[in-house]
Amino acid sequence: MLHQIAIDDLHEMVDALSAALDAKNSYMCGHSERVAELALRLATHMGLSSAEQNRIHIGAHLHDIGKIGIPDAILNKQGKLTEEEFAIIRQHPAIGDNIVGKLRVFHSVADIVRHHHERFDGKGYPDGLRGHDISLGARIVAVADAFDAMTSARAYRKAFTLEQAITETRRCQGTQFDPEIVAVLVDLAAKTTLVDHEPSSAVKALA
């Protein structure tokens, strides 16, 4: 469906939707956009078709759109979340799937929204899919999403350095992440500038 509407118009729509989400909770400010940018760069680096690159880019922009349905008191809570609150947060991929499902133009990115918290080992949510049963787009966005969370500061911790984030992502390959996508991220980090960090010799050595 993505070809039936100009990609620029579609991009404008998803920008507006992500701005609505950013306005709701400040710690996420710019998160969707950064994840969309990184997911696109991973897809491009993998040599995927331009149609697939666009699909992954748009899906990445919308990945957390379901957080609109999560109460602010939980999303913006400073302290530790209770099990019950975590359970509510874990509903956001399904809520997002329901939101994008209302628009035919977004049907082709619903898998990314619904499955961006699945894990490669099958222990993720909401459906516990494993390995390549998780769509390629969702596997790419899962890596981009976690990498952006690590390299962004939180109220309770400083941002990881590029090396720390790469080390942590590699540690989780095969369990949380698809090792193939992690390898693409490491290669990208070694050859280009990611999140305002110049590639360090330590990261170059990992590629």
Name residues contacting Fe ion, limited to 98-157 (CB under 5 A): 145
What does the chain look like in DSSP terms, one character per residue? -GGGS-HHHHHHHHHHHHHHHHHH-GGGTTHHHHHHHHHHHHHHHTT--HHHHHHHHHHHHTTTGGGGGS-HHHHT--SPPPHHHHHHHTTHHHHHHHHHTT-GGGGGGHHHHHHTT--TTS--SSS---GGGS-HHHHHHHHHHHHHHHTS-BTTBPPPPHHHHHHHHHHTBTTTB-HHHHHHHHHHHHHS-BTTBPPPHHHHHH-
Mask for 20-59, x = binds Fe ion (CB under 5 A): ----------------------------------------
Q: Does 64 bind Fe ion (CB under 5 A)?
A: yes
In whole angstroms, the minimum distance from the beta carbon of 92 to Fe ion comes to: 6
Residues in the interface with Fe ion (CB under 5 A) total 2
In whole angstroms, the minimum distance from the beta carbon of 175 to Fe ion comes to: 18
In whole angstroms, the minimum distance from the beta carbon of 113 to Fe ion comes to: 9
In whole angstroms, the minimum distance from the beta carbon of 149 to Fe ion comes to: 7
Q: Residues in the site for Fe ion, rule: CB under 5 A? A: 64, 145
